[in-house]
Amino acid sequence: MDIHELLPVLVPKAITWAKSQEAAILRAGVPLSPSGIGIAQRVGVVDPTRVRLQVVPAIPTPDDPVMARIVVEQGVFGPHTGGVTLGYGIYLVAGKWNDQLVAHELRHVHQYESLGGVEGFMPVYLAQIAQCGYRDAPLERDARAAAGEPV
């Protein structure tokens, strides 16, 4: 599946999905602990008090079949995934998260803030995945570097 060709259709769907998931996390999630706020500040989050974490058994998959296929095929998330950030909302998979993963996801919060929220982040992020692949997308490399993971 050629993501480049799908971007004009995929980006608006991804924005809609991400905003709905962010809203759900903000309603049901918990604020960062004091140590979480420290991690957030270290990785550049401007407003850590807005962040909410929600522990889930697995990351929810988009209902749209094309989106669902792309996120799995591109490795954006799947059975190996420990967390996903959607604006100020972060899903963390039960039993898979630690401070390094939280730092990675909080760096994505910083990226959302820097790029103007979900509407600014998604076009850039998806274009990078289409261009470079998930693992080598600059926003992913930046999040890994900020969390002290191998880049």
Answer whether residue 4 shows pLDDT above 90.
no
Burial class of residue 79 in the structure, from the number of CB atoms within 10 Å of its CB (0-12 exposed, 13-18 middle, 19+ buried): exposed
pLDDT at 44: 98
Mean pLDDT computed over 100-106: 97
Indicate the angle between helix axes 3-28 and 118-132, nearest 10 degrees: 140
Mean pLDDT computed over 51-76: 90
Give tens-digit pLDDT for 78-96: 778 899 999 999 999 999 9
Answer whether residue 24 shows pLDDT above 70.
yes
Percent of the chain scoring above 70 in pLDDT: 99
CA distance 143 to 151: 9
Q: Which two tokens stand for residue 50?
A: 């807005």
Give the model's confidence band at 146: pLDDT under 50 very low, under 70 low, under 90 confident, else very high: very high
Percent of the chain scoring above 90 in pLDDT: 81
Answer whether residue 50 shows pLDDT above 80.
yes
Answer whether residue 1 shows pLDDT above 80.
no
Please state the domain extents for the chain. Answer: 3-146
Mean pLDDT computed over 97-112: 96
